[in-house]
Amino acid sequence: MYKIVSKKELTNNIFLMDIEAPRVAKSAKPGQFVIVKNDEKGERVPLTIADYDEEKGTVTIVFQAIGKSTKELASFEVGYEVADFVGPLGQPSELIKEKIEDLKKKKIVFIAGGVGAAPVYPQVKWLHEQGVEADVILGSRSKSLMIFEEELKKVAGNLYVATDDGTYGFKGTGSDLLKDLVNNQGKKYDHAVIIGPMIMMKFTSMLTKELGIPTTVSLNPIMVDGTGMCGACRVTVGGQVKFACVDGPEFDGHLVNYDEAMRRQNMYKTEEGRKELKRIEGDTHHGGCGQCHEEE
Amino acid sequence: MDRFKRVPIAEQDPIVRATNFDEVCLGYTEEEAVQEASRCLNCKKPGCVTQCPVSINIPTFIQYIKEREFEKAARVIAQSSALPAVCGRVCPQENQCEGKCVLGIKGEAVAIGKLERFVADWTRENNIDISETLPPNGKKVAIIGSGPAGLTCAGDLAKLGYDVTIFEALHEPGGVLVYGIPEFRLPKDTVVKHEIENVKKLGVKIETNVIVGRTVTIDSLLEEEGFQAVFIGSGAGLPKFMGIPGENANGVFSANEFLTRNNLMKAFKEGYDTPIKAGKKVAVVGGGNVAMDAARTARRFGAEVHIVYRRSESELPARVEEVHHAKEEGIIFDLLTNPVEILQDENGWVKGMKCIRMELGEPDASGRRRPVEVPGSEFILDVDTVIMSLGTSPNPLIASTTEGLEINKRGCIVADEEGRTSKIGVFAGGDAVTGAATVILAMGAGKKAAKAIDEYLSNK
CA distance B338 to B357: 6
Cβ pair B96, B443 in contact under 8 A: no
pLDDT (0 to 100) of residue A282: 54
| Residue A295 binned pLDDT confidence (cut-offs 50, 70, 90) | very low
Q: What is the pLDDT of residues A36-82, one digit of tens each?
A: 999 999 999 999 999 999 999 999 999 999 888 999 999 999 999 99
Contact B254 A68 (CB under 8 A): no
Question: What ipTM goes with this model?
Answer: 0.88
pLDDT (0 to 100) of residue A288: 44
Sign of CA dihedral A155, A159, A164, A165: positive
Residue ranges of B 241-260 with Cβ closer than 8 A to chain A: 241, 243, 247-248, 250-251, 253-254, 256-257, 260
**At residue B447, what is the residue type?**
K
* Chain A nearest-CA residue for B210: A86
Closest Cα in chain A, distance from residue B69 (Å): 39
* Chain B nearest-CA residue for A257: B248
pLDDT more than 90, % of chain B: 85
Facing A224 at nearest CB: one of B211, B260, B392: B260
Q: What is the pLDDT of residues A80-109, one digit of tens each?
A: 999 999 999 999 999 988 999 999 999 999
Contact B215 A231 (CB under 8 A): no
Q: Which residues contact B14 (CB under 8 A, 6 or more apart)?
A: B325, B328, B329, B330
CA distance B142 to B158: 11
State the CB neighbour count (10 A cutoff) for residue B69: 14
Q: What is the pLDDT of residues B91-134, one digit of tens each?
A: 999 999 999 999 999 999 999 999 999 999 999 999 988 878 89
Alpha helices in A196-257 (DSSP H): 198-211, 244-247
Give the best residue of B208, B209, B276 to mutate against chain A (max A CB count within 10 A).
B209
DSSP B359: E
pLDDT (0 to 100) of residue A296: 28
pLDDT more than 70, % of chain B: 100
Give the best residue of A66, A230, A269 to mutate against chain B (max B CB count within 10 A).
A230
CA distance B183 to B186: 5
Contact B395 A229 (CB under 8 A): yes
Q: What is the pTM of this model?
A: 0.91
Q: What is the pLDDT of residues A217-265, one digit of tens each?
A: 999 888 899 999 999 999 999 999 999 999 989 999 999 999 999 988 8
Interface A:B, Cβ pairs < 8 A: 107
CA distance B123 to B69: 11
Q: What is the pLDDT of residues A153-193, one digit of tens each?
A: 999 999 999 999 999 999 999 999 999 999 999 999 999 99
pLDDT (0 to 100) of residue B155: 94
Contact B265 A224 (CB under 8 A): yes
Cβ pair A261, A198 in contact under 8 A: yes
| Residue A273 binned pLDDT confidence (cut-offs 50, 70, 90) | low
| Residue B366 binned pLDDT confidence (cut-offs 50, 70, 90) | confident
pLDDT (0 to 100) of residue B98: 96
- Is residue A202's pLDDT more than 80? yes
Contact B274 A229 (CB under 8 A): no
pLDDT (0 to 100) of residue A290: 42
Facing B215 at nearest CB: one of A27, A224, A229: A27
| Residue B82 binned pLDDT confidence (cut-offs 50, 70, 90) | confident
* Chain B nearest-CA residue for A228: B238
Q: Write the CA distances from A259 to A133, A203, A220, integer angstroms.
A: 33, 11, 13
Closest Cα in chain B, distance from residue A221 (Å): 12
pLDDT (0 to 100) of residue B278: 83
CA distance B325 to B334: 16
Angle among Cα A85, B276, A38 to the nearest 5 degrees reads: 20
pLDDT more than 90, % of chain A: 80
Q: Write the CA distances from B53 to B48, B81, B84, B119, B452, integer angstroms.
A: 10, 10, 13, 19, 16
Closest Cα in chain B, distance from residue A118 (Å): 21
pLDDT (0 to 100) of residue A275: 59
Cβ pair A84, B208 in contact under 8 A: yes
Contact A24 B253 (CB under 8 A): no
